[in-house]
Amino acid sequence: MSLRRIFLLPASLVTIGLFLVPMTIVLAYSLMTRGPYGGQGLPLTLENYQRFFDPLYGEILLRSFWIAGETTILCLILGFPLAWYITRSGPRRDLLLQLVMLPFWTSFLVRTYAWVFLLRDTGLFNTILMATGIISQPLPLLYNHGAVLLGLVYTSLPLAILPIYSTLERLDYSMVEAAADLGAKPITTLFKVILPIATPGLRAAAFLVFVPSLGTYLTSDLLGGGSTILIGNLVQNQFTTARDWPFGAAASLILMAIVLVGLWAVTRNGEDVL
């Protein structure tokens, strides 16, 4: 065996063992029939896939795409100025970058729960607003679409900032000066020079935010309560309370297929996403 193959072996084993094999199992489950008391078995069927085309699931899928889209747009709008600011902040740059990555040092679950404590009726925001007499009844801050969106934007923002930062950091600042020199006002420079050059970073950021947001189930579960069922919650429910593994497997594969087709559609011009 050549040295090259020896070094490639661990990665190959991990990929096969932890990705291909489970995916094959999921595929197999999605084609099985659910047993009367949960569990699954033969005969093989496509019924699980057919069931997904119920309008109820269509609505869930649409809602998932909608909230993932909102999250992506908000993260790009918030992340871009921040990434630009970090790029231009000289010696404090490393410190600011570390602050962006700081949330990763705390468990995702803990951070999301923290929002519950801040947003609930007896939470920090409502307590302060009521104590100062601004409101007399607690505002419904938790268990709605807005709370889920907030949680998703909060968790995804660093994933948007980092790729945008990496393209802006490579941008030769004399481009910006050249644009001004040629008569462009700052807003024109932003739209005609900086954004076009930063497009690869923005595209990478969009994917890093959109794909995980599309499949989220914890954020929607904790901050949305029962009111905001997303595709991730649907899949989770099939594997837990509903005990319908074949349908859960089919739903997750359909989601994956949609994402892959979308990825292909965006990258077929030969451009790299990441």
Report the nearest approach of other proteins to the CB of residue 40 (Å): 53
Would the CA dihedral through 75, 78, 84, 86 be positive or negative? negative
Residues 214-243 that bind other proteins (CB under 8 A): none
**59, 92, 209 from 85: Cα distances, Å:** 39, 11, 20
* Beta carbons of 184 and 193 less than 8 angstroms apart: yes
Of 101 and 178, nearer to other proteins (C-beta) is 178
Site string for other proteins, 103-142 (x = CB under 8 A): ----------------------------------------
Rounded distance between C-alpha atoms, residue 159 and residue 71, angstroms: 12
- In DSSP notation, 78-121 reads HHHHHHHHHHTSGGGHHHHHHHHHGGGGS-HHHHHHHHHHHHST
Rounded distance between C-alpha atoms, residue 50 and residue 30, angstroms: 11
Strand partners, 103: none
Looking at 101-109, 111-119, 188-196, 266-274, which segment touches other proteins (CB under 8 A)? 188-196
Among 53, 181, 226, 264, binds other proteins (CB under 8 A): 181
Report the nearest approach of other proteins to the CB of residue 94 (Å): 20
Of 100 and 168, nearer to other proteins (C-beta) is 168
34: enclosing H helix or E strand = strand 33-34
**Overall size of the chain counted in residues:** 274
Of 8 and 182, nearer to other proteins (C-beta) is 182
Among 185, 226, 268, 272, binds other proteins (CB under 8 A): 185
Strand segments, DSSP code E, in 100-182 are none
Which DSSP symbol is given to 44?
P
Cα torsion for 75, 80, 82, 85, to the nearest 10°? 180
Among 78, 130, 184, 218, binds other proteins (CB under 8 A): 184
Q: Is 183 in the site for other proteins (CB under 8 A)?
A: yes
Of 92 and 192, nearer to other proteins (C-beta) is 192
Report the nearest approach of other proteins to the CB of residue 250 (Å): 43
Report the nearest approach of other proteins to the CB of residue 178 (Å): 4
Rounded distance between C-alpha atoms, residue 189 and residue 182, angstroms: 10
Residues 77-106 that bind other proteins (CB under 8 A): none
For residue 33, the SS3 value is strand
Report the nearest approach of other proteins to the CB of residue 169 (Å): 15
Among 139, 197, 211, 242, binds other proteins (CB under 8 A): 197
Rounded distance between C-alpha atoms, residue 28 and residue 30, angstroms: 5
Site string for other proteins, 161-180 (x = CB under 8 A): -----------x-xx-xxxx
Report the nearest approach of other proteins to the CB of residue 182 (Å): 3
| Residues forming the site for other proteins (CB under 8 A) | 172, 174-175, 177-185, 188, 192-193, 196-197, 199
